[in-house]
Amino acid sequence: MAILIGDTAPDFEAETTEGRIRFHDYIDGGWAVLFSHPKNFTPVCTTELGYTAKLKPEFDKRGVKVLGLSVDKLENHAGWAADIAETQGTTLNFPLISDVDREIATKYDMIHPNANDSLTVRSLFVIGPDKKVKLKIEYPASTGRNFDEIIRVIDSLQLTAKHQVATPVNWKSGEDVIIVPAVSDEAAREKYPEGWKTLKPYLRIVPQPRA
């Protein structure tokens, strides 16, 4: 059964390049990104892991732990990490999970029988401090994922979790946001005493809250 946004992310125990973890304990009230790869030594995923390693300071700044997953054996991960360092100019600096028995891939519905019944599809989940799935994206094998977009979405998720706002199309951190319709004008005046721009009664634009 597919995991949907709002579902609790399945817990699991696994061996990783940084030791054995229990996923829910590893998150420990923070945010997480869990993303899968079809297998080790694949070209597109090699570039993705290298770029994600370069973005680690950005994930750290947002309190986000990143974990990669492959169905290959743990001992094979070291060789792939060496290739990533050589070709992408960065060292793997986050855990890479070994899911040889495909238990985690099955729990997260990462096995795509129409593509291959033994390899994972390229899934990505953003999971919040409440252990619930906030974002789910699947990519085909031929197209590299956009991890700058993942950072952008996390900024939106963290902002909208704290404030009663939504983010418009192509929004980036620091830009104006939308007051959600559930907030009345009266309540909005208390939240935003400096006012807002009304384009339609349901479309009210306000500077991004800072607190």
Which residues have C-beta within 8 Å of that of residue 31, sequence separation ≥ 6? 62, 63, 64, 65, 126, 127, 128, 129, 154, 157, 158
Contact 177, 209 (CB under 8 A): yes
Give φ, ψ of 139 to 5 degrees.
Answer: -120, 150
Nearest to 169 by CA among 195, 139, 205, 140: 205
Contact 67, 25 (CB under 8 A): no
45 in active site: yes
Beta bridge partners of 205: 178, 197
Which residues have C-beta within 8 Å of that of residue 80, sequence separation ≥ 6? 40, 41, 46, 49, 70, 72, 96
Selecting among 14, 27, 45, 104, the annotated active-site residue is 45
Q: Would you please indicate which residues are annotated as catalytic (active-site) residues?
A: 45
